[in-house]
Structure 1
Amino acid sequence: MQGTAEGRTPQEIAETIHRHCSVSLLRAHRLARGLTLKSAAAELRNLGAGHGEKAPKPDPIQLGYWETGRNHPRPLTVELLCSFYASTPEEIGLTCTATMQALTLPGTPDIRTCPSAGGSFGLRLDAARREVDRTLASATVSPAQLDLLDERILWARQLYLYSPPAPMLETLLSLLADVEDLAGDRQPAAVQVRLSELTAVLSTLTADSLMKLGDLTRSQAWYGTARAAADDSGNVELRARVRAQAAMLPFYYGPLEVAVALTREARMMTRGRPSATTAFAAAAEARALARLGDAREAQDALHNAADLFERSGSGADTDDAFSFPERRFLLYRSGALTALGNTNQARRVQARARDLYPAKTGIDPALLQLETAICSALDQCPADACDLAGSAILTTLPAHRTPILRARAREVIRVLPPPTRSSRPARELREILALPPGAR
């Protein structure tokens, strides 16, 4: 690095990067030392290991959030960062929460609101920008360039929580094009690994979007691509996560045995180490086993999932499509208990889960209400069951009213007592399910 060769300190180099590259001071300190988000997070965890169990254990996602002001680190974490960078809080820009929350990266488009240029001109703009990126990277990908791409994908992972699947696919395909454009050139091994990881993440979200839209063949193909990319990266946690996520397709559309096999494979890959991925895999396995009617194994898997979730501290600091916060754990627990016929316990879990969902979210609250409807059907209350299911469909925003919701609503009719499946409430629910997309 030129600054180092000139005898400048990391602090001086960081200040120069901050002034001239329009990045936060915290990010500038990392870049001044030539560290990626991943390597810096690993070194921070190693540094914190000597400070007891309460020491912060940041991951690359959290570090990226802190650097861009999306989250503000806790006081203990600020101390750790100051020690790591041999700086004061002021020197790394962590003295004012409001300032950190207001930080943005000039020149980085907000993919939630930035309109796309249409037609051939838009394609020319995209091609020109990628060519400039390649030139700036001098035949490779610089750490700063990779971090910026990583930030955009992290942003998409947050956006995914509440965005309808159809427009989300446009965002995901654009990001995939950027990743693959860089991966097409020969890169150093560490860079190629990171690009494979990003490809796996984006492919998984693409597959999940297609599943929600009912395009099952393409969804299955994209899950295959995601698994291949994750395997290519060698990242065990990501390999396991992709498999656990891929189990959602056979869980909703069959065969259920494949869902169990995928979740077990994911759990075995992590060797039972407490993490968000292991807790997710165990909860998904319990839900699939319950729907298969294997009550004993489902109960064992539920206990295992609860233990793993508690020990992992899942979703404590991040909330995106690859986190596993309590509300999602409860959603999976609800699915297992509902399938097992434990309706009273399932209702309590559903109520707790609904209270944890933010106002702006996706289809999970509707899925919870449909499970409450299934509980009513199992409790021999067909009118309540059909009313709840119909309300879940009609109160969901039209863009989110996808085939996966309708498939779960049909499950309500399937579990109704046979004499009531042709009753007026059941007929009205069928009429709601037959409405064209967007109809009220």
Structure 2
Amino acid sequence: MGEETIDPHASVERLFGAVLRHFRQSRANMALRRAGELAFTDFSNIGRFERGERMPAADLVARLDQIYGAGGMLSALHAVLLRLQAAESARPHPGRHGENSTLGMGDDEMERRTALHLLAGLGSLGTFGIATEPLRRLLDTDFEHPGRDLAGWEQACADHLYALRTRPPAQVAADLVIDLAAVRQQAQAAPPALATELHRITALLAALQANALTRLADHGAAIRWMETARQAADTSGDLSIRLLVRAEAAGHGLYGQRDPRTVLDMVRSAQQLSSKPFLQLLATEAKALSMLGRHDEAIAALAALHRATDQGDIDRYDIWTPNQIYFAESWVYAAAGNESAGAPAQDKVRKTTRDYHYRINVQLHGAMCTVAQGGIDEGTRQAATMIDTPAPAYRSNHIMETANLVLRAVPADQRGRASVTEFRKLLTTPPPQSAYV
């Protein structure tokens, strides 16, 4: 007997059930009984959750997230839907005593908008059995909620940036998509002066979304969001945000998204917007040159970066932090095999950064340097240990692509070594998956 069809439009519980089933069947290719065994629960319970009879507990969702390889998405979606469910339950529903909350039919516009925006962020909606056109029409409804003031949006940007540095990227993407849709809705109805400021906010949020998606290796979606960020930045007319967005696009391009030569072209094109050097662009230039094996030029670019620290433009949103200079040094000197110059930079990053992927990546730089100096077995084993350190949901594409730099540092005639073969197998493990466009 086939499994019962789930209507994800019927309720919050059934929406989550449809997504649960999708990850079990399509992502993990796992039978219901096996899922129950691995999650330490009777398989019939998972069946009830998938049918939307009730919502599972957060700890079970976290286990299923790991079992299905959902990269934090199930936990993030579960948390958002529970908040929506609680908000819906807290207000009266005349004539609907005891019924589940029906998506799109509530009286509270903010909660309905949150649900619809979350649905819009699920990506390939047809995969979940969600009808795209009705959703589109609902999303285009004009809501009367006034939205945040500018200070509130600035705080939201800071909160999302903090989340990006400390939480799994799939969770960050889930939250960002809600605010991206909300600021777009607010900007459409705002007076011109406020709309201009909201375009700036949109640019920053879209760039953060592209960052999260790059960490999830969803490069196509990341590039599209970065283009959205660029257009919004240009519309705002704010030079600092225009430079920042272009610098972000170039910098994330180095993580398996673009050819380093393309990144160099992007850096040089962006720098033409300003008469003053932009520090983030200079750091990206040094790293791109390093990836091309142009080590002397990369070291010269680092020197230019240091000279520019006192007069260069920097962003006011804390995306660029001074320790990124040390991160660029760590990258460039490690690739060149210069341990005496790279190790102090790595130590400075570890002591000052809040971003978990920077802490891991500078240690991978150290492993790359060891390999470049001829310590192939030691370097690849050191890198393998670092990849295994974070939980799967945190094992981002930024980390895996940096580990690939370690592998590429191994001379061609040494790639048959057992340590290298084992390391290569480890790198074939898929990173956390994205479900956000």
Q: Tell whether the structures are fold-level matches, with TM greater than 0.5.
A: yes
Task: Report the alpha carbon displacement of residue 414 of structure 1 after superposing the two structures with TM.
Answer: 2.0
In the alignment, the residues of structure 2 paired with residue 339 and residue 386 of structure 1 have an alpha-carbon distance, to the nearest angstrom, of 14
1:150 to 147, 150, 154: 154
Q: Which residue of 2 is the match for residue 337 of structure 1?
A: 333
Amino acid in structure 2 at the alignment position of 1:212: R
**Equivalent in the alignment of 1:327:** 323
Residue aligning to 2:216: 213
CA separation of 1:338 and 1:125: change in aligned 2, threshold 3 A = farther
Q: Which has the higher contact order (CA 8 A, sep 6+)?
A: 2
Partner of 2:270: 266
Residue correspondence of structure 1 range 176-325 to structure 2 within 5 A: 176-185=180-189, 187-253=190-256, 254-272=258-276, 278-311=278-311, 322-325=318-321
Q: Give the root-mean-square deviation of aligned CA atoms.
A: 3.0
CA displacement at 1:242 relative to structure 2: 0.4
Judging changes above 3 Å, is the alpha-carbon distance between structure 1 residues 199 and 376 closer, same or farther for their aligned structure 2 residues?
A: same
Distance 1:437 1:266, change over 3 A: closer
| Paired AA for residue 288 in structure 1 | A
Q: Give the equivalent residue in structure 1 for 2:73.
A: none
1:351–1:298: structure 2 CA closer, same or farther, 3 Å change rule? same
Structure 2: distance between partners of 1:434 and 1:136: 47
CA 1:127 to 1:211, structure 2 compared with 1: closer, same or farther past 3 Å? farther
Which one of 343, 353, 357 corresponds to residue 349 of structure 2?
A: 353
TM-score (norm 2): 0.64
**Structure 2: segments with no counterpart, 5+ residues:** 1-78, 86-99, 114-141, 433-437
- TM-score scaled to structure 1, two decimals? 0.64
Q: How many residues align?
A: 311
Question: Is the 2:255–2:397 contact (alpha carbons within 8 Å) kept by the matching residues of 1?
Answer: no
Separation in structure 2 between the aligned mates of residue 427 and residue 363 of structure 1, nearest angstrom: 24
Does the CA-based 8 Å contact 1:212-1:404 persist in structure 2?
yes
CA distance in structure 1 between the partners assigned to 2:313 and 2:241 by the alignment: 18
Which residue among 72, 83, 96 is the counterpart of 1:116?
Answer: 83
- 3-state SS of the aligned residue for 1:175? helix
Native 8 Å contact 1:130 1:181 kept in 2: no
Measured in 2, the distance between the counterparts of 1:125 and 1:235 equals 39
Q: Which runs of 5+ in 1 are unaligned?
A: 1-112
Shift of 1:227: 0.6
1:165 shift after superposition: 0.8
Q: Distance in 2 between matches of 1:304 and 1:419?
A: 36
2:378 partner amino acid: D
Between the aligned partners of 2:166 and 2:276, the Cα distance in structure 1 is: 31
Matched, 1:398 2:392: yes
Deviations 1:60-109 (A, max 9, x none): xxxxxxxxxxxxxxxxxxxxxxxxxxxxxxxxxxxxxxxxxxxxxxxxxx
Equivalent in the alignment of 2:420: 426
> Which whole-Å CA distance do the structure 2 matches of 1:332 and 1:124 have between them?
51
Superposition misfits of 4+ residues, deviation over 4 angstroms: 118-127, 130-137, 310-315, 435-438
1:25-174 matches, within 5 Å, as 116-118=83-85, 121=102, 128-129=109-110, 135=144, 137=146, 145-174=149-178
Instruction: Assess if the C-alpha contact under 8 Å between 1:153 and 1:175 holds in 2.
Output: no
